[in-house]
Every structure is written in structure tokens, then in C-alpha cells.
Amino acid sequence: MPKAFLIDTTRCTACRGCQVACKEWKNLPAVPTKQTGTHQNPPDLNPFNLKLVRFSEHMVDNKVAWYFFPDQCRHCLEAPCKQASSVEGAIIQDAATGAVIYTEKTAQEDFDVIRGACPYDIPRQNPQTKQIVKCDMCIDRVKANLLPMCVKTCAMGAMNFGERADMLKLAAERLAVVKKTAPKARLLNPDDVAVIFLVADEPKKYHEFAVAEGPGAMTRKQVLAGAFAPFRRLARAMQG
Amino acid sequence: MQDSGQPAVEAQRILDEAARYADQTPALESLFAAFGPVLAERARLRAEAPGWRGELPTVDAERFSQGVFVLADSGFQDVSPELPAAAVRLLPVMERAFPALAEELAALGRALAEGGLEPELLTRAAFSEAPVSVPGVSRDTLRFAASELVKPFIERQARDIIGLVTELPWRRGMCPVCGGAPNFSLLRKVRDESEFIQAHGGQRLMHCSVCSSQWRCKRVSCPACGNENPEELFNLRVEGRPFERADICRACKTYVLCLDTVEFVDIPDADVAALAMLPLDLLVRKEGYAPLAGHPWSPGI
Ligand code: SF4
Ligand code: SF4
């Protein structure tokens, strides 16, 4: 049965427990970080940080409000990165769970194409091995009936995991509650992804690539299929 | 237990879980191969069973709080009329699962089909209320088959009843529905809708050996004698199985199996999970402790 996450950002306190737990479970090395003027640390996803709690501050009613966004691969139901793949067996989707998995064959892919295809800007490349990496849903754990590390670690109930149908139900319930105080609250691409975010405000305020949104004329599929990639790459280039 | 209520889904879930456990513990593969299909067929029968017929019993909250379980006066409704049809489905599965008993099980099936055995007697055999004898069937096999046949119908009735008391306090070691003893327990994560930190330890639930109802129980206490002295309560585990333990009481020398599901994606079927804990069962018995209630595969039960 397909699995899904509900990431309820309204319950996240940015403790970074999930980020650290992920790194530890995957045995990923430390990375040098730089001070970017925010509390986000490291500044972006990288080959050794597959999960990143993004921070951004906004003025709301004359007060500084912090927005937290525990970013990670969305395990898209029809993964654009997989559609863009040209190497057999490099990007696979586990039938039982729906997890989108990158194998060592991703080293033969064109990294820019794969990263450009992802509407959420998730894939990163290991400079030594050239492998492309991202969250794998802790597939080793899930196959053993254990929760992904990030979900196991979260003490606030922000990270939830289970059957897709159950998560959609929980998402709808939480959305109804949050909407009472935050009318702009919404779920991000719930029909397209297995990692569903609940946000209380404009998605862009959380993170530039929080949500996949296409111009009205295009079908979502066309957008997701990479028609958007050049813009995405441009946006990244401008970010530096 | 999470339950879809759909017979095929329920059965498949059990087979999948049995396969996963068998993968993890190759030593138990043949046990899972035998019991998996039996538990799956039982789940199918349970999902299709009629449940409690007519008006639900009334619960006297006062008496209940004093420890009088719901069915203390009436017991379960008679399931005998269901047994002949259930036998046609379950006995052949059991025959394949336990080739050494196949002949006896077939004889039992014939006796039921041909009127040589009244279904009411089979029900009584399940509850060991009366000595029943069927030619060509040993007493143990009769009792085993009878309780396997009766169980899905009892479980289905209990599901209708437990809802009557889920909001009432009950912190006893016996089942609030039928008074049965637990043969399994689990720790379960609770999603707390308050904005406070989620409890990581989880709730402790007992699982009834008779009707499979589950009820909350104090975390540090012996369900058999009520002992709460932490010095006398301890647990044993088997190496490499971090989520499984036996909760043991030194005072009354009993134990109950406990599965910590706090980190689990799905809570497994209680019987499948308990079957995987057989090596632990054996270890704890060797240490001189007795289970509060057994399973069909338990040694000496
Ligand atoms: S699911 Fe596992 S790999 Fe993915 S972000 Fe969470 S902990 Fe890391
Ligand atoms: S989020 Fe990006 S990397 Fe993850 S499956 Fe979707 S397209 Fe692929």
C-alpha cells in the first residue's frame, strides 16, 4: 500500500531533530557551513544533508514571525526526475511504498537535467562519486515496518507517516483546524506527492520551491514533466 | 489492531505480515508458513461474522468500575450456528498447515457435516466446559480446532462491545469485555492533539487471549497480581529483537509478552507478532515464569 508523509509545519518548532537524525542514520559526514544571515544551517540541501529545516522570517502584524519548513524529497507519485532520467535503473520507484529511489547508476545521469526536472529542487550530487542523492524515505527502515528516522525523532507531531489514505485524512483534519486561525492555510500539491506539507501562509514565504505551481494554460503534468525546468534553473542561477 | 473490516484486505495484511516476519526470522519460517494461512482465514471469518445480534448489553458504570466486566453475567452470544460453515472453510486450511493433525481434523469435519457432532458441543469444547469426545479425534486436537473455530465469532462480538466501555476507567489485568487474561501486550504511540510535545513512551495496552479486545493498563504494574514495585518488575529480551520483550513479575512469577510499536509504521496483528516472539516465550519459561495466557503454539498449553 502506498505510504505518505504529512509534514505539519504549524507544529514544527525547528528543533532540527529530524535533520540530525537523518544524517546520523545515513552516516553522512559533517559539512562546513557558512553564516548566511539566517538560522538555517547548513544553508541548503547538499549531498550530505538530505533533510533541511529551512528558516525564514517575515513581518506579520508588525512582529517578526519565523516560518519553518522541514524540506525533503516529496516522493512524487509521477516523479518528474524519474521521467527525465535517461539511464535504465538509475531512478526507480518502489511499488509497495511509492518511494522514489536513486541508485548508484545516477552517477551516469546528467545531473543538471535531473535537478532541473524536480519542481522542488531536491536532487544534489556527490562531487566525488558523481552519484545523485536525496531522501530515500528510509526505505530500509520502512521495509522493516519502522518509521523513517525523521518521523521517529519528531517530538512535536510535525512529521507523520503512514498509509496514504490515513495521511490524507489526517491532513484534511489538521487543515480544517489550522484554517480557523490561518485562513490562508493549505496543503501543498496533495494530489501529486507522497510528502504533503501543511502550511499556514503563502508557500513562497516558506521556501521558493515549497510548492509546484504552473501557469494556468499548462497542465500540471506538462509543468511537472519539465517544461518548467529552464525557469527553475534560471531562478537558481539568480540566487547564486 | 487496525482494521479495514474488509475480509480480503484483512487476510492479505496478515499474510504479508507473516511473510515479513518469516523473512526476519528464518528459524520461524515453517511456523509462519503453517499459522499464517490459519490466522488469515480466521481474519476473513471474523470480518464476515455477524457480530453482536440485537440490543447491546447495558453497562452499569458503577459495577464496571468495581471490576465487573461487561459480559460477566451473560457471556458471549451462542456462536454454534456459525460453526459448521466456518469449519468447511477453516479446517481444510488447518489440515494443510498441520499435516500431522490432518486426519483428525478431517474426521472432525466429517463428524460436524454428518451430524455426528452437535455444534453446541464444539462450542463447549472450545471453552473446556464439558468433556466432549469425537471418534478419531484426540482431546487436544478437538480443543485446538474448536477454539480456532469459535474465536473469530467471539472476537467479532467483542468488537461491538468494547465501544461501550472505552471511555470508562478500567486498569485491571483482565479483559473488560469477557474477563479473559492477556496473552500479549503492546506499547502504542498516541497522537496528542494538544500543542504539547508528543509522548514518546506510548500507552500500554493488554490484548485478551479469549476475545482479542485491547485495553489500557498502567505502565509499571503486573497485570496478574497488581504489583507496582519496580524492583520486582523487569523485562527480558532476545538479542537482536529490540522491540520485543517479556514483562515479568518476580512476585507472582508470571509474564506477558510486550511489543513496543512506538517506532512502527503499522501495528502488526497481535497473533502474528506474538508468534514471532516464540523464542522469547521459551527463554522466559526456562527462567521459571509462566504466561498469564498462552497461544495455540505455546508449549504445554
Ligand atoms: S525519510 Fe529518512 S532519509 Fe528521508 S529525510 Fe527523513 S530521515 Fe532522512
Ligand atoms: S521531489 Fe523531486 S527528487 Fe523527489 S521525487 Fe519529486 S521530482 Fe524526484
Q: Is the ipTM of this structure higher than 0.85?
A: no
How big is chain B by its Cα radius of gyration, in Å?
19
- H or E, element range at A161: strand A159-163
Instruction: Please name which of A128, A186, A130, A194 lies closest in space to residue A162, comparing C-alpha atoms.
Output: A194
Domain of residue A120, CATH code: 3.30.70.20
Q: Closest-CA residue in chain B for A13?
A: B197
* CB atoms inside a 10 Å sphere around CB B55: 6
CA atoms within 13 A on the CB side of B290: 9
Look at residue A194 and tell me whether its pLDDT is greater than 70: yes
A147 and B264 within 8 Å at the Cβ level: the answer is: yes
Instruction: Please name which of A55, A56, A50, A52 lies closest in space to residue A42, comparing C-alpha atoms.
Output: A52
Tell me the three-class secondary structure of B109-151, residue by residue: HHHHHCCCCCHHHHHHHHCCCCCCCECCECHHHHHHHHHHHHH
Q: What percentage of chain B has pLDDT greater than the value 90?
A: 80
- Kindly state whether residue A171 falls inside one of the protein's structural domains: no
Q: Which residues of B touch A (CB under 8 A)?
A: 20, 24, 191-192, 195, 197-198, 200, 263-266, 268
- Kindly state whether residue A175 falls inside one of the protein's structural domains: no
- Kindly state whether residue A91 falls inside one of the protein's structural domains: yes
Q: Which among B20, B192, B200 is the nearest to A145, CB-wise?
A: B20
A123 lines ligand 2 (CB under 6 A): yes
- Kindly state whether residue A182 falls inside one of the protein's structural domains: no
Look at residue B237 and tell me whether its pLDDT is greater than 50: yes
Look at residue A230 and tell me whether its pLDDT is greater than 80: no
A132 lines ligand 2 (CB under 6 A): no
Peptide bond into A42 cis (omega under 30): yes
Query: Which domains are delineated in chain B?
Result: 49-162 (no CATH), 182-291 (3.90.1670.10)
A3 touches B at CB < 8 Å: yes
| pLDDT tens digit sequence for B127-178 | 877 778 899 999 989 999 999 999 999 999 999 999 999 989 898 899 999 9
Q: How confident is the model at residue A42 (pLDDT cuts 50, 70, 90)?
A: confident
Q: Give how far the C-alpha of residue B159 lies from the chain's centroid of Cα atoms, to the nearest Å.
A: 13
Q: Which three cell numbers stand for residue B98?
A: 498441520
A15 touches B at CB < 8 Å: no
The Cα B152–Cα B148 span in angstroms is 8
Q: Which three cell numbers stand for residue B290?
A: 509462566
Cβ proximity of B104 and B112 under 8 Å: no
Identify the domain containing residue A226 by its residue range. Answer: 13-147+208-240
* CB atoms inside a 10 Å sphere around CB B221: 20
Q: Give how far the C-alpha of residue B208 lies from the chain's centroid of Cα atoms, to the nearest Å.
A: 6
More confident residue, A2 or B25: A2
Q: Which among B20, B24, B198 is the nearest to A156, CB-wise?
A: B198
| Residue A218 pLDDT | 38
Q: Dihedrals φ, ψ of A95, to 5°?
A: -65, -40
- In the three-class reduction of DSSP (H, G, I as helix; E, B as strand; rest coil), residue B187 is classed as strand
One-letter amino acid of A184:
K
**H helices present in chain B, as ranges:** 7-24, 29-48, 61-65, 83-97, 102-113, 119-126, 139-162, 270-276, 278-286
Nearest-atom index, ligand 1, CA of A72: 5
The Cα B166–Cα B282 span in angstroms is 33
Q: Closest-CA residue in chain B for A165?
A: B4
Q: Which three cell numbers stand for residue B147?
A: 477454539
Average pLDDT over residues A219-228: 48
A133 lines ligand 1 (CB under 6 A): no
What residues does A195 pair with on adjacent strands? A5
Q: State the total domains in chain A.
A: 1
One-letter amino acid of A64:
V
B198 and A142 within 8 Å at the Cβ level: the answer is: no
More confident residue, B98 or A228: B98
- Kindly state whether residue A102 falls inside one of the protein's structural domains: yes
The Cα B222–Cα B205 span in angstroms is 12
| Residue A216 pLDDT | 38
| Residue A221 pLDDT | 44
What residues does A125 pair with on adjacent strands? A132
Cβ proximity of B126 and B87 under 8 Å: no
B39: CB partners within 8 A, 6+ apart: B14, B18, B269, B271, B272
Q: Mean pLDDT over all residues of chain A?
A: 87
Q: Measured between beta carbons, which residues in chain A are less than 8 angstroms from residue B191?
A: 157, 160
- Kindly state whether residue A17 falls inside one of the protein's structural domains: yes
Average pLDDT over residues B250-279: 95
Q: Which three cell numbers stand for residue A56?
A: 525564514
What residues does B185 pair with on adjacent strands? B206, B258
CA atoms within 13 A on the CB side of B139: 7
| pLDDT tens digit sequence for A65-110 | 889 999 999 999 999 999 999 999 999 999 999 999 999 999 999 9
